Structure formats: C-alpha cells, structure tokens
Amino acid sequence: CRPTRAEAEVRSWKKEVKKETKLGMAYKKDDNFGEWYSEVVVNSEMIEYYDISGCYILRPWAMEIWELLKEFFDAEIKKLKLKPYYFPLFVTENVLQKEKDHIEGFAPEVAWVTKSGKSDLEAPIAIRPTSETVMYPYFSKWIRSHRDLPLKCNQWCNVVRWEFSNPTPFIRSREFLWQEGHTVFATKEEADEEVLQILELYRRIYEEFLAVPVSKGRKSEMEKFAGGLYTTSVEAFIPNTGRGIQGATSHCLGQNFAKMFDITFENEKGERSMVWQNSWAYTTRSIGVMVMTHGDDKGLVLPPKVAPIQVIVIPVPFKDADTTGIKGACESAVYTLNQAGIRADLDARENYSPGWKYSQWEMKGVPLRIEIGPKDLANKQVRIVRRDNGTKVDIPSTDLVEQVRVLLDGFQANLLETAKAKRDACIVIISTWDEFIAALNDKKLILAPWCDEEEVEKDVKARTKGELGAAKTLCTPFDQPDLPSGTVCFASGKPAQKWSFWGRSY
C-alpha cells in the first residue's frame, strides 16, 4: 500500500480516456466472444480489416510475434538439416490434380488466375493452397540414388485457400503465412521419427512460447491430410466457444505422392525403391489461438517470450515534480533492461496522460509496466505492474534486471498454468451417447472411447449437425488413459479401440 500514489487520480483519468478515445473495450470476452475477439485484434493494432473479405493486414504488433516464432523454429529445423527453398506461387491444373484424394480435399478452395493484363491465359493457373504438387515433380527429378536422401526442404511463404465460411483474423483467412516442410526419406522409420520431432517443435511453439496448452495426437482417417498416410497434430481448445482448434500438423504422406509423382531411388543394393515422405506446417493461426486463450476484458495479454515489448516504462510526472529527473530515471531503466537483452521501451509521449498510456499498453498486452514518479525517484525504486493479474510491486532500481527477469519468467509460467487449468476444467470423460450430447451442449472437450470406424464418425457428424456445426474427432491423444477391456464405443456400442477427443472445432 502506497498512500502517496494518486491511484484515484489515475482511475479517473482512465475513465475519461475510455470515453474520449474509445481505448476501452466495448465487448466482454464472456458475453460476446466473437465481437470481443475482433475488437482485441483490431484495437491492439495486430490486425486491420482489409477491403477483400477474408484478407487481413498484419501490423507490426502481429508481425513481430511472427518473427520471434520464426526465429525459434527456423533455427531448430536448421539443426535438423532442413534447407531453405522457394517454390513458385503458381501450379498448373494438370499437376495440381495428380493426387486424386489431395485435389478433392483442396479443389473447392483453389483460387484460379485466368487473365494477365487484358488477355486470357491459355489455361487457368492455380494459386498454391499448399505445395505438395508444386514441389514433388522436382523431387522426382532430383532424387536418383540413396545418396540423395534424405531431402529436406522448408519454405516460409503465403498460401491461399478461398474459403467461404466465417472468415476470422488469424484463425480462418483466405491468405495466410506459414512454413511448410517437405521431406523425403529412404525408409518409413526415418519418416515416422521426423513426424514426431517436428510435432514436438510445434508443441514447444504453443506451450513454451505462446503459453497455450495443446494435446499431441493422431487425426482420424476422416480428418487426416488429403492424400496422406496419417496426420499428427497439436490441438488447442478455446473454453469460451467450446471449440477445439488444430494448432499445427505434421503429416506422414507415406508413399502415395511418391507413386503419383514417381519419386524413386536406387537403394544400396542397386534396386529401385519408392521414397517415404512427410509434410508439416504451422501458420499465423497460432497467433490467433494465443489471443483467444489469454486475452481479457482489457485487451490482449502477451506471453513475455513473444511480446514485442516485454516491459513498457512510463514516467508519471505529477505537478511540481522533477520531470527531468523522472525522465532520466525512465531512460536509464530502459537502457539497463535493453542491455540485459530484455525488450523494454519508453513511452515518453507528452500529449497523453499516464492513465491513457496504461490503458493503451494494457490493450496491447505488454506483460510488465514500470511506473516511475516523484516518490520512486526519491526512493531509488520503480513500481512494476503485471498485466495478467494486476499485482504491483516496488523494487529498488539496483535489482531491476534480476527482478524483471523473475517476473517475466513467472508471468510466462503463470499464463500456461492458468490456461491449462481452464482447458483441463473443460475436459469431460464420457461413455454414453447421452453423456456425449450433454457434454457437447455444455461446450466441453470430450474424451470418449471410440471404435475408430470412419462410418461411425460420419454418423456422429450427421447426428450432431446444427447451427453451431457438427461434432467430430479432434485427435486421438498420444497420452491415453486406461481402456479396460469390454469398454464400448460411445456412439456405436462396438468394442472401443481408443480414447479420442471429440467436439466442435474451428
């Protein structure tokens, strides 16, 4: 308790400011999640809506997060000997259609270029929805011998999927940014191993960086990648909407594409063999999942590891105070933190009140705010306020770096724990159809014993169709509870093969 700080004054500033500048949020996360989300991504200056539906402008507050994630992931895959490539944006109709299941999966969403200038093209050209068909004819050309394997390609690029349902910034957009890895091996064992190595990196992006808890698991036959052998994924869950959301996917393509594109090699015995392939990707969607998970009624909440600014320093110059001294102390704090590798910045704008600044940086989700006023200056201390729980501490300036480090680490850990507790509270284990429907209506993340038959999943989809969308499998988690013998499928009554997560999804 610090009686000298004019808390009341700051509060009244804030109220004024919200009225005048619309900095405050009009929607609450629990009342109207959809509008709340749109408001957060726009007001925090991550997103600007664009005049083509389903396309969004990514502003620095989003792109700097994307760059931080990219820096981590790109360094990790380079350790795994992935090489950078750039394949064209365009693919001919003929090649795109080579793998039948694959094109069936993507055809309705493909954007076609048919004209250049005022002339019609000879044949329409597709914009890549993903690059399997763009790349694999060349893999066939490059791979001759077992010595050319493994081949490991990655590209960072944009892809286009012209979807019509519910465009949502980050989550479902017609153009998005991603990395796509495409690898080729001599044996299934190597491919299987890499699928999991990459999936672990995706888990780390979500849990270590974005502080979003995810489940690793395998997709059902219905939900796997079109044309692949099997798909693994990390799955997140949004408690407010009761929907699962696919975080990233790591596919083993098996030999399906190798057959269609004739990708073979001479093995060490001099025989012709067919390769094994993987493809895997994560996208800017990951940023949206993070916003949905941590944001609150004041705006964004950013995990320190991905926050473009981890600490915002704000001078609080009361009347007759030593303004120069305060500004100097603020500059010194920023300098000290920057030198220690902490992303700190100073908000020295003179046309905004401290209260307005507090609101703005809360909206933008900066983890820690440092306030320095006359008393702080006199006592050689700073006040630190946490964005996640609003707690305040005064610390001596001499301990600045050490204390900020501790607070940032705690903040990061706390976000993940809190999110995990909320997610776990939504998990319901069910065993009957009635329990399933009740849990679905209750927006739960449903763990159910399942016979693992495609027809049964289709049937569940059909029986749960409705305004909110049908239920489907999210994944079969690698972390399986006991399945006592005699357990039956909740939907078919047949013997259960596994526990799977079910629910509605994005």
Supply the minimum distance, in Å, between the C-beta of residue 181 and its own copies. 13
Q: What are the structure tokens assigned to 492, written together?
A: 């078919």
CA distances from 111 to 87, 106, 119, 128 (A): 17, 10, 18, 8
| Cβ distance to its own copies smaller for residue 173 or 464 | 173
Supply the minimum distance, in Å, between the C-beta of residue 506 and its own copies. 21
Supply the minimum distance, in Å, between the C-beta of residue 98 and its own copies. 12
Q: Whole-angstrom Cα distance, residue 42 to residue 326?
A: 32
DSSP state of 28: -
Amino acid (one-letter) located at 385: V
Strands 445-450 and 215-218: unpaired
Supply the minimum distance, in Å, between the C-beta of residue 277 and its own copies. 17
| Cβ distance to its own copies smaller for residue 28 or 349 | 349
Supply the minimum distance, in Å, between the C-beta of residue 64 and its own copies. 6
Supply the minimum distance, in Å, between the C-beta of residue 488 and its own copies. 41
Three-state SS for 196-213 is HHHHHHHHHHHHHHCCCC
Supply the minimum distance, in Å, between the C-beta of residue 452 and its own copies. 31
CB of 114 closer than 8 Å to CB of 81: no
| Cβ distance to its own copies smaller for residue 33 or 138 | 138
Strands 311-315 and 276-283: unpaired
CB of 374 closer than 8 Å to CB of 318: yes
Supply the minimum distance, in Å, between the C-beta of residue 151 and its own copies. 11
| Cβ distance to its own copies smaller for residue 160 or 475 | 160
SS3 339: helix
Q: What are the structure tokens assigned to 274, written together?
A: 């067919």
Supply the minimum distance, in Å, between the C-beta of residue 114 and its own copies. 5
- List the beta bridge partners of residue 299: 296
Q: Whole-angstrom Cα distance, residue 62 to residue 286?
A: 11
Strands 445-450 and 498-505: antiparallel
> Which run of H or E residues covers position 274?
strand 272-274
Supply the minimum distance, in Å, between the C-beta of residue 72 and its own copies. 16
The string over 325-347, giving b where at least 16 C-beta atoms fall within 10 Å of a residue's C-beta and e elsewhere, is ebeebbeebbebbeeeebbbbbb
| Cβ distance to its own copies smaller for residue 33 or 50 | 50
Binding site for its own copies (CB under 8 A): 48, 50-52, 55-60, 63-64, 66-67, 83-92, 95, 107-118, 124-125, 127, 137-138, 141-142, 147, 157-158, 160, 162, 175, 177, 349, 351
| Cβ distance to its own copies smaller for residue 128 or 444 | 128
| Cβ distance to its own copies smaller for residue 57 or 413 | 57
| Cβ distance to its own copies smaller for residue 54 or 365 | 54
Neighbours of 484 (CB within 10 A): 8
Amino acid (one-letter) located at 32: N
CA distances from 43 to 39, 91, 286, 299, 300 (A): 6, 38, 19, 8, 9
Q: Whole-angstrom Cα distance, residue 30 to residue 443?
A: 13
Is the N-terminal amide bond of 304 cis, ω within 30° of 0?
A: no
Long-range contacts, 10-13 (Cβ 8 Å, 24+): 10/354, 10/355, 10/358, 11/355, 12/355, 13/353, 13/354, 13/355, 13/356
Supply the minimum distance, in Å, between the C-beta of residue 353 and its own copies. 15
| Cβ distance to its own copies smaller for residue 232 or 283 | 283
Supply the minimum distance, in Å, between the C-beta of residue 268 and its own copies. 11
| Cβ distance to its own copies smaller for residue 4 or 53 | 53
| Cβ distance to its own copies smaller for residue 88 or 466 | 88
| Cβ distance to its own copies smaller for residue 271 or 467 | 271
